[in-house]
Structure 1
Amino acid sequence: MKKYWYTYIIFVIALSNIQAQSGWTRKAESFYVQTTASYYSSKDYYTTEGFLSDTGSRFSSSALILYGEYGVTNRLTALLDVPIIQLNSFSTTETVGGVGSVKLGVKYRLFKNIPVAVQADFEIPTDDGINLATAHRPNELGTFDQINLPTSDGEFNVWTNLIGSHSFGNGKTYGSLYSGVNFRTESFSNQFHAGAELGHLFFDQLYLIGKLRILEKLSSGEGNQGGSFLYGEGTTFTSFGLNAIYKLGGHLSLVASYSDYAGFLVERRNIYDGGTFSLGISFEY
């Protein structure tokens, strides 16, 4: 009986993070809500050719994110991911903000007793991808430059995933493998992503999850090369991270995570390389 209790905890917690991937779905009519605040800052920009460039300024981004899941049936889960407010800036510009792209998703477990699932997330833009930040100081001509720092890239995406998971070690440990394609519109290049996760429950209260993910350009064409690096055109990377979930008691948990980029599997291209920290709280029932 204890093994099944641990496995249930894994089912809940493995689904308890915005970026978590698992083949399990929520129990019918159960729900999970999480809110997190995140912060990211970097001055190390990798060009579309993969070279580290000194831009002379630091890019920073912070966000307040609402994430939710609802068990429509035991094998079908509805998903919602909304950056309620996102703030972007360079050290040389003002800070601009807005609502990030909204993700509405569904996950379906293919087999009743085997944690293998397919997932589709529909990423809906909240603006036209234009959000101009004005420089703090005038240029040599005496005018103030503006740079586009969008909080939404202005194009519709469909993220697809095939996910397989397995629990072992008396139900206290789980592993997941996943891969899928991001189908993009507005002449942007499609993307391939894949990853792995390994999590373990310590002291029946603290859950730690290690993550590894790659993102690669899939389309053979040049795609849409205009606009801000925040559009993600030509962006590739390897990312790694660690999540911690601590059960506070009852239905509440404290969640924290750290993620960063590397180039040992896929080169960093068109990206600012830096760590992202997040902290939040969750409620599930």
Structure 2
Amino acid sequence: MKQNKYIILLMLSFCATYLQAQSGWTREAKGFYIQATASYFSSNDYYTTEGRLADQGSTFNSSGLLLYGEYGISNRLTAIVDVPLVRLNSFNTTETVGGVGNIQLAVKYKLLKKFPLSLQVALDIPSNNGENFTQSKSPDDFGQINEINLPLSDGEFNVWTTLAASHGFANGKTYASAFTSVNFRTESFSNQLQVGVEVGHLFFDKLYLIGKLKIQEKLSSEINNQSGSFLYGEGTTFTNIGITSMYKLNDHLNLVANYSDYAGFLVERKNIYDGGTISLGLSFEY
């Protein structure tokens, strides 16, 4: 039981970090988990839809405050909510625009009684129509103040379907997970495929360290060139690597930190700003 408690706590504690975790475990009946996380990203390295590093000349900045929660409806069924309460986007040449990001509601079901294999279905609900304009800080060569769309939502519904499996090792402190996920998009956006793995270990009975690797590919040879901003994620592909730590402050409260970055060694970076994301948060579970 102690081994299972460690592993379940570990898996449920990292779902809200920037590099989102997926596992075969579900929460125990009537148990709940809440995590609040602040994140920050900044980069001037933009990869085009053809995978070419462009000379943008501007730095893109994004930060946010995210709230994530789980509740065990039964031992095999978990309800999940993921809400970016505040998202702030800007270029170094523009004012900052802020608001609520896409809201995600999900259910996860454990398919097998004796093996942690789960199926999760999540609905991404757009918080707006995908338009959120900000103004440039200074006029252009013609003396005009330009407006730039920095959407906080892609303006369309997404349905993520995820199959995940996990394994806890005999020492009760180490686990491994793998998942595959398909994002069915609307509004003529191309569907997406994600595949990921992660390995975690508990040190000194207080500190969890988790290494993560995730790739994303598009499931169509064509992309919607009318999609506008790179923030819509149309045609976006990448390899994402990350490390997450969680320090147990007491039996219920944890300090969570995460760093993730993009790479091109498995899947090319396309239609994305390449840079590291730092996040820090607190989690509470009972």
Which interval holds the TM-score relative to the shorter structure? over 0.9
Q: Given the alignment, which residue of 4, 7, 10 partners 2:4? A: 7
Q: Is the contact made by 2:165 and 2:177 (CA closer than 8 Å) also made in structure 1?
A: yes
Look up the match of 1:255. 256
Q: How many residues align?
A: 282
SS of 1:57's equivalent in the other structure is coil
Query: How far apart in 2 are the matches of 1:141 and 1:246?
Result: 54
Following superposition, the deviation at residue 6 of structure 1 comes to 2.8
Q: Deviations over 1:70-104 (max 9, x none)?
A: 00000000000000000000000000001000000
Q: 1:190-225, CA deviations, whole angstroms, 9 ceiling, x for partnerless residues?
A: 001100010001111111111000000102333353
8 Å CA contact retained: 1:34, 1:66 = yes
2:233 match: 232
| Structure 2 residue 180 is matched with structure 1 residue 198 | no
Deviates more, 1:273-282 or 1:12-21: 12-21
Contact preservation (8 Å) 1:102, 1:125: yes
Matching residue's letter, 2:123: F
Distance (Å, rounded) in 2 between the aligned partners of 1:54 and 1:15: 40
Query: Which residue is equivalent to 1:271?
Result: 272
Does 2:87 match 1:90?
A: no
Whether the aligned pair in 2 keeps the contact of 1:187 and 1:224 (CA below 8 Å) is no
Q: Quick one: distance in 1 between partners of 2:275 and 2:226?
A: 23
Q: In structure 2, what is the equivalent of residue 210 of structure 1?
A: 211
Q: Separation in 1 of the partners of 2:209 and 2:161? A: 26
**Cα distance in structure 1, aligned partners of 2:95 and 2:214:** 32
Q: Deviations over 1:244-263 (max 9, x none)?
A: 01100131000000000000
2:125 is equivalent to residue 128 of structure 1 = no
Which of the pair is proportionally richer in strand?
Answer: 1
For structure 2, the residue ranges without an aligned partner over 5 or more in a row are none
CA distance in 1, matches of 2:209, 2:60: 29
Secondary structure of the 2:4 match is helix
- Residue aligning to 1:153: 154
What does 1:56-205 align with in structure 2 at a 5 Å threshold?
A: 56-205=57-206
- Could you tell me the TM-score, scaled by structure 2's length? 0.97
Contact 1:133–1:146 (CA under 8 A) maintained in structure 2: yes
Verify the 8 A CA contact 2:223 2:234 in the aligned structure 1. no
Q: Is the 8 A contact 1:189 1:224 kept in 2?
A: no
SS state at 2:5 partner: helix
Q: What is the Cα deviation at residue 59 of structure 1? A: 0.2
Q: Where has structure 1 moved over 4 Å in runs of 4 or more?
A: none
Q: CA RMSD in A?
A: 0.9
**Deviation per residue, 1:27-62 (Å, 9 max, x gap):** 000000000000000000000000101111100000
- Please give the secondary structure, in 2, of the residue aligned with 1:249: coil
Q: TM-score, normalised by structure 1?
A: 0.97
Match of 1:25 in 2: 26
Q: Deviations over 1:215-240 (max 9, x none)?
A: 00102333353311100001000000
**Cα distance in 2 between the residues matched to 1:215 and 1:206:** 29
Structure 1 residue 279 displacement after superposition? 0.3
